Structure 1
Amino acid sequence: MISLKTVRVERFAVNGSFIISRGAKTDVDVVYCEVTDGTHVGCGEGTPIYYEGETAELCAEAIDMRCKQNRAISREDLLKSMMEGAARNALDAALWDLEVKATGKPLWQLASLPEPKPLVTAYTISLNEPEVMKADAKKAASKGFPLLKLKLNGEDDLLRVAAVRIGAPDARLIVDANEAWAEVDLEEMAGALKKLGVELIEQPVEAGFEEDLDGVSSPLPFCADESCHVAEDIERIAGTFQAVNIKLDKAGGLTEALRLNAAAKARGLKTVVGCMLSTSLGIHPAFHLAQTADWVDLDGPALLKKDRAGGFVYKDGMISLPG
């Protein structure tokens, strides 16, 4: 019989600040939980989706309430009994980890995924003035990151990207508007960004307004983030987006993310496996799913002042398992 051993809120400081169109963060609260079968203990972490109204405290309460219910605690049942989001992600991750420890089989085998190898990951350049973003990009490139993800907001974005291109002339670039391009001429912007070497545009329009992309002729693929959380969303967005960013905190865990990944690929969509600000524990399941992705954006732990002990290794723009 599986039961909840502990659940708590933990806070981690960001290295500097993380700035997107919605605001800045100097620290991140995560929900941490452990489950046990009486012999083994599995642990998981989730980062609340604050723009969806989640907080770490509410996630901890949701986990505690679910585990007090008189029903089995299993990954399959969580899909029926808990809403998508960070609480379900943390509990789902803990259950996967428990199975790994109880069976002695690695996660990739249990999840029918490829054996994990080091991956190139994007590194986020926070929204800021063009000269600051140029300097940040130059610094990231000097550390060996070959793929940069630029946070934009719909104002002077071409100046920002052009500045980054000067700071990191050889870097691959993807951009994330975080729903802020309602007043932007998308065709004109996409054409200009392509000339600057950008290869992907993430979430240009507000979730719920995907029809704004109807008829837009873009030389670059549009990637759904806020517009797509779970597998059932794919049919709604497949006609307007060419890629989807799979985040386990949005999907509510690896179990649902596997379904989402399969649904996206079945419709011919490319995939990004991304993350929120988190520790290495939070992205551990995502790293395994990322083995199947077209782009990998798992820099959450690299943006913290201090990660958990034994976390992922970031070297020369690659993320790899420790040891």
Structure 2
Amino acid sequence: MVMRRSLDIAVERLPFAKPFRISGHVFTESPVVVVTLRDGLHTGRGEASGVYYLGDDDAAMTAALATVADGLRGGMNRAELHQALPPGGARNAADCALWELDAKREGVPVWKLAGLPEPRPLLTTFTLGADDPAVMAEGARGYANARALKLKLTGDLDLDIARVRAVRAERPECWIGVDANQGFEIGELEPLIAALVDCGIALLEQPLARGREADLDGFKSPIPIAADESALTLADVDGLVGRFDTVNIKLDKCGGLTEAIAIARRARTLGLDVMVGNMVGSSWAMAPAWLLGQLCDVVDLDGPTFLATDRVPGIVYRDGMIDCPEAVWGQRALSATPAT
């Protein structure tokens, strides 16, 4: 007999420490939905930011979760959730809550329950929002302990090249990738990539708009090109071959840790590299993504660093690395006392 659960769905607005700019958007806060499931003894939590460019906001997420609320209370499992909800933030929040709840009930951490490697600290990128080149160079100086940086571009070719040159001059020792956020057209890629090669840039993320993937057919780049908006779910992965080199997996896009693991494993079989990213959020959102990061070549999990305040306990950033103490999320049950 399945024990009936309690369910809480909450919307929280996490303010940024300062505005953050990418191609076509400026963000000042991260509205998130937090799902909490309790079975009387154990608690599972999941946090999602949704996917802003798909209209997957807090209102859409809470509406979607309302359609499965009775099922979640009645014992719905992850496979049933996958069938009941489409990919997106709502499924991510519920999926991660179920992972943590099941881990506590089984008495093992989520990584072991999911068949993932025992987690270790990972090198992560730290992101510089698109700004004046001098401001971005100053920001790069501010990330004194970072060993990997990601620069947001806007699609303004000359200005973007100036941004990259300014940051590279300031931090010649760092791994640097750039994220174009769909800002360019195919005819602009050759001069952009030539400048990126000159600056020793290691990765170009999502240069073209979603839907223009075929424009990359036959295009040869000396820098790996990563798919972000072009690869939302597992169904998108096979179509990346021959066009992209890397797939950027985000739990909010694909709808949770369950599908994220499947994407990583499928990408490997296709010869693609794997990256984990985030839509910004607190440590509760980064923790399951950090577990996925154990399978990845590139890790971009700096979301909490943009927030005015984070969860306590929270993710630890030290010497350019990200680490997640077990107490943050996904731990085994520490005792058999009733959840509060």
TM-score class, shorter-chain normalisation, is over 0.9
Find out whether 1:129 has 2:132 as its counterpart. yes
SS of residue in 2 equivalent to 1:292: coil
The alpha-carbon deviation at position 305 of structure 1 amounts to: 1.2
> Partner amino acid for 1:304?
L
CA distance in 1, matches of 2:82, 2:190: 39
The residue type equivalent to 1:60 in the other structure is T
- Return the TM-score normalized by structure 1: 0.96
> Which residue does 2:316 correspond to in 1?
313
Structure 2 residue 208 is matched with structure 1 residue 205: yes
For residues 199-258 of structure 1, the C-alpha deviation after alignment (integer angstroms, 9 at most, x for no partner) is 000000011110111121210011000000111111112220010000000010000111
Return the offset for 1:61.
Answer: 2.3
Runs of 4+ in 1 over 4 A off after TM superposition: 69-72
State the one-letter code of the partner of 2:132: E
> More displaced, 250-259 or 2-11?
2-11
Give the TM-score normalised by structure 2: 0.91
Structure 1 CA distance, aligned partners of 2:126 and 2:61? 27
Structure 1: segments with no counterpart, 5+ residues: none
2:290 is the alignment partner of 1:282? no
* 1:183 Cα deviation from its structure 2 partner: 6.1
In structure 1, what is the Cα distance between the partners aligned to 2:129 and 2:179? 10
Equivalent residue number for residue 95 of structure 1: 98
Deviation larger for 115-124 or 186-195: 186-195
CA RMSD of aligned residues (A): 1.4
Contact persistence 1:29–1:47 (CA under 8 A): yes
The corresponding residue for 1:18 is 20
Paired position in structure 1 for 2:147:
146
Deviation at 1:182, TM superposition (A): 1.5
- Greater shift, 153-162 or 52-61, is seen at 52-61
| 2:222 equivalent in structure 1 | 219
Identity of aligned residues (%): 41
The equivalent residue for 2:331 is: none
The question of whether the paired residues in 2 share the 8 Å contact of 1:31 and 1:57 is answered with no
Please list the CA deviations of residues 59-114 of structure 1 after superposition, one character each: whole Å capped at 9, or x if unmatched.
12211221225975111111111010000000000000101111110111011111
Equivalents in 1 of 2:165, 2:249: separation in Å?
28
Output one character per residue of 1:266-315: Cα deviation in whole Å (capped at 9) or x when no partner: 10000111111100001111101101110000000111111011011111
User: 1:51, 1:244 → 2: CA distance?
Assistant: 18
State the alpha-carbon separation in 2 of the partners of residues 146 and 9 from structure 1: 34
Deviations 1:136-194 (A, max 9, x none): 11111x1x101000000111211110011122121110000000012652123212201
Amino acid of the structure 1 residue aligned with 2:5: S
Distance 1:204 1:133, change over 3 A: same
Find the counterpart in structure 2 of residue 31 from structure 1.
Answer: 33
How far apart, CA to CA, are the structure 2 residues paired with 1:191 and 1:218? Answer: 9
2:245 matched to 1:242?
A: yes
Question: Which ranges in structure 2 are unaligned for 5 or more consecutive residues?
Answer: 327-340
